[in-house]
Amino acid sequence: MNKQRKTNLIFWLFLAPVLFTFIMVIVIPFFMGIFYSFTNWSSSARADSTLQFVGLANFKNSFQDPSFIYSFIITSLYTVLNVLFINAVALILALVVTSRLKLKNIYRVGFFIPNLIGGLVLGYIWQFIFNNAIPALGNIIPVLDFLSNPDNLVLSKVGSSVTALVIVGTWQYAGYIMMIYVAAIEGVPESLFEAATIDGANEFQKFKNITVPMVAQAFTITMFLTLVQSFKQFDVNVSLTAGGPSAIFRGTPLFGTELLSLNIYNTAFVKNMLAEGQARAVVFFVVLVVISVIQVSINKKKEVEL
């Protein structure tokens, strides 16, 4: 066995466990899922449960369902808000913790910690804050009296519930994105700033003309991560709002904050239409791929190489 062969063997040996897992839990289910989306699969022991091809019926039914269309709209809205908020907050935090600040490492850890808490737990914690803590605050402080009025409960209206989802999403994810910005900002050569200072540039000019172009690469990554994360939001959605409160869309009462993942889940497991849920997941996948490819290619154009 020559050296080349030995290296090859070791390479495959180390790769095998990961490859095996990847094929078993990602690749095979992915193609099975696409297959099932064209059938009447229901994973139950119904009397008439033979597997049949139904063509594009699942896709057709999905697009005729107001709740699916509504989910698309509300998810897009949520994604836009969430991407903007997370990135704005993360960038500000990153600038703060890279400045000459005392205890900046402690702040970095502090901002990052929410990301380590599971989304379900986070959702229930914030549900308690919105439903109990905030109204209680209104009872204690007379000026904030309006908070204790049940009409002003954050989670009782669709608009404010989406805002609540964005707040929790930002709280959870901004620390993580901040870390990426911090790494990028610290990678900008100090000499550029010194040169700019000698040329008489002020802080804002330095930020606009040096920091932003130099961290453009990080923008590509963070925008991609936040976009995908927001689009796929599920756990916080389930635990914080459970899809509610209700809304009326095209004359049909439905769940007002049911994001796409939750809509797919409800289609599969509450409506008992697993194949149709799978079809929606395929649509979801295609849309997500298209949007993220567009986003990455736009961002790539703005990157600069030194």
- Residue numbers at the binding site for other proteins (CB under 8 A): 5, 8-9, 12-13, 16-17, 20, 43-47, 49, 67, 130-131, 135, 150-151, 153, 155-157, 238, 241-248, 253-255, 266, 268-272, 274
Is 24 or 84 the residue whose CB approaches other proteins more closely?
Answer: 24
**How far apart are alpha carbons 195 and 192 in whole angstroms?**
5
If the CB atoms of residues 208 and 271 are measured against other proteins, the closer one turns out to be: 271
**Between 145 and 203, CB nearer to other proteins:** 145
Q: Which is nearer to other proteins, 52 or 197 (CB)?
A: 52
With contact defined as beta carbons under 8 Å apart, do 245 and 158 qualify? yes
Cβ at position 150, least distance to other proteins in Å? 3
Angstrom distance (rounded) from CA 68 to CA 259: 9
Q: How far apart are the first and last CA of the chain?
A: 45
Instruction: Give the distance from CA 297 to its chain's centroid.
Output: 19
Pure H helices in 207-301: 212-214, 216-231, 235-236, 260-269, 274-301
> Could you tell me the smallest distance in angstroms from the CB atom of residue 284 to other proteins?
18
Under 8 Å between Cβ of 243 and 257 = yes
> CA-CA distances (angstroms) from residue 222 to 61, 92, 173, 202?
35, 14, 11, 27
Our CB check for other proteins shows the closer of 69 and 153 to be 153
In whole angstroms, the minimum distance from the beta carbon of 42 to other proteins comes to 8
Closest distance to other proteins from the beta carbon of 295 (Å)? 31
Q: Please state, in angstroms and rounded to a whole number, the distance separating the CA atoms of residues 45 and 58.
A: 20
Of 68, 98, 10, 31, the residue nearest 268 (C-alpha): 68
Tell me the two tokens of residue 33.
């899922």
Minimum distance between the CB of residue 223 and other proteins, rounded to whole angstroms?
31
| Closest distance to other proteins from the beta carbon of 7 (Å) | 11
Closer by beta carbon to other proteins, 109 or else 137: 137
- Work out how close the CB of 134 gets to other proteins at its nearest, in angstroms, rounded to a whole number: 11
Q: Which is nearer to other proteins, 114 or 138 (CB)?
A: 138
* Cβ atoms of residues 175 and 112 within 8 Å: yes
